[in-house]
Amino acid sequence: MEGATDELDSRNRAGSVLGSSTTSDGDSVRPSGRPDAIRFVGVHKSFGRNKILAGLDMGLPEGMVSMILGPSGTGKSVCIKHMVGLLYPDSGDVLVHGHSVPNMPDRELFEMRKKFGLLFQDGALFGSMNLYDNVAFPLRQHTEKGEDEIEHIVMRRLTEVGLANAREKMPNELSGGMRKRAGFARALVLEPDIVLFDEPDSGLDPVRTALLGELIRQIHAEMLAEAQAAGKTRMPTFAVVTHDVMSARRVADYINVLWRGRIVGAGPAEVMLSSEDPFIHQFLTGDADGPLAMD
């Protein structure tokens, strides 16, 4: 056990070589030259005696599709909840565009959350509304748009995810995959700066998974182009949480590998995928032999 921890520490150091360096103004910058949209600094989190995050240092570069890759139960969903202030770290800090989430007063937190679109692990559609109303809900609550305009936006998003024909269906009449795609549409309607996906690929068949990955890439590219054309200061950042290495290969620009509450490796996708590091290699190839074991 001791040995394993030591090994982890050295992985972590290896990871941070690939990870961020800090510029003189204190803003951390990726090798890609982009600042981090979201940054975890030494985050610890336990539930009772169950330690989930153990000094997590992680950055998600702005304007990219990042992956947080880790086996089931490592705390990926917990990680996402920290980003939007649904959970608070026991110690450490979470920065979103440089602002500390745990230290935000409630009012500011609610404002900050409007920058986010979040796709929950099983969609989290409102059971009392049909699909259309679910997707229209953020628009009705947060904008002054008329019903015509709302319908235009909603139908565009629903068409994108292939659910235009199911607009009147209630969430309990949808399959798990459909709920996920609907959650995706809902996460996008407000054109957020940061979109978080909690396991968009779990419970989908391989073809759907591939299509969804493609959709994520395509929508990111679209939003990026729109943001650049509009001269926005913030480029759209996508963070995809998954345990599926295949979708990481297809979708990611940047990969963080999370294991036992820490980042054991992080870097641009092409660097990570060709990594010689046995640990990362084992994880990314899904090999049974290697330093990773069931426990």
Partner 1 sequence: MNELVEVPRDWLDSMGDVVRFGARVVGRVAGLQVLRYTGETLRQAGILIVSSTLVIWGLVFIIGLQCGIEGAYFNQSVGTPAYSGVFAAWCDLRELVPLCFGYMMAAKVGTGIVAELGSMRISDEIDALEVMGISGITFLCATRLLAALVVLPFVYLCSIGAGFLASYLAVVQQIGDVSSGGFFLIFWQFQNPPDVLFSLIKAMAMAVLVVLVGCYYGYNASGGPVGVGTATAKSMVINIVGVHLISMLGTQIFWGNNPRAPIGG
Ligand X SMILES: Nc1ncnc2c1ncn2[C@@H]1O[C@H](COP(=O)(O)OP(=O)(O)OP(=O)(O)O)[C@@H](O)[C@H]1O
- What residue ranges bind ligand X (CB under 6 A)? 47, 52, 70, 72-78, 121, 199, 243
Residue 18 or 163 having the CB closest to partner 1: 163
> What is the DSSP secondary structure assignment for residue 35, as one 8-state letter?
B
Question: Is position 161 an interface residue for partner 1 (rule: CB under 8 A)?
Answer: no
Question: Is position 77 an interface residue for Mg ion (rule: CB under 5 A)?
Answer: yes
Nearest to 200 by CA among 260, 145, 156, 244: 244
CA distances from 31 to 15, 21, 106 (A): 13, 8, 34
Question: Is position 116 an interface residue for partner 1 (rule: CB under 8 A)?
Answer: yes
Among 142, 149, 156, 205, binds partner 1 (CB under 8 A): 142
The distance of closest approach from Cβ of residue 227 to ligand X in the complex, given in angstroms and rounded to an integer, is 29
Residue 73 or 290 having the CB closest to partner 1: 73
Detail the DSSP E strand segments found in the chain.
21-22, 28-29, 36-47, 50-61, 65-69, 91-96, 99-100, 116-119, 194-198, 237-242, 254-259, 262-268
Look up residue 137 and give its two tokens. Answer: 């809900």
Among 40, 120, 132, 254, binds partner 1 (CB under 8 A): 120
CA distances from 275 to 48, 61, 214, 220, 283 (A): 36, 20, 24, 26, 11
The distance of closest approach from Cβ of residue 106 to partner 1 in the complex, given in angstroms and rounded to an integer, is 8
The distance of closest approach from Cβ of residue 113 to partner 1 in the complex, given in angstroms and rounded to an integer, is 4
Interhelix angle 147-160/176-188, rounded to 10 degrees, is: 130
Asked if residues 81 and 253 have their Cβ atoms less than 8 Å apart, the reply is no
Look up residue 209 and give its two tokens. Answer: 């998974």
Residue 35 or 213 having the CB closest to ligand X: 213
The distance of closest approach from Cβ of residue 222 to ligand X in the complex, given in angstroms and rounded to an integer, is 28
Residue 16 or 77 having the CB closest to Mg ion: 77
Question: Is position 86 an interface residue for partner 1 (rule: CB under 8 A)?
Answer: yes
Residue 13 or 142 having the CB closest to partner 1: 142
Instruction: Name the residue number minimizing CB distance to Mg ion.
Output: 77
Backbone angles phi, psi at 124, to 5 degrees: 50, 40
Residue 77 or 282 having the CB closest to Mg ion: 77
The distance of closest approach from Cβ of residue 181 to partner 1 in the complex, given in angstroms and rounded to an integer, is 15
The distance of closest approach from Cβ of residue 200 to ligand X in the complex, given in angstroms and rounded to an integer, is 12
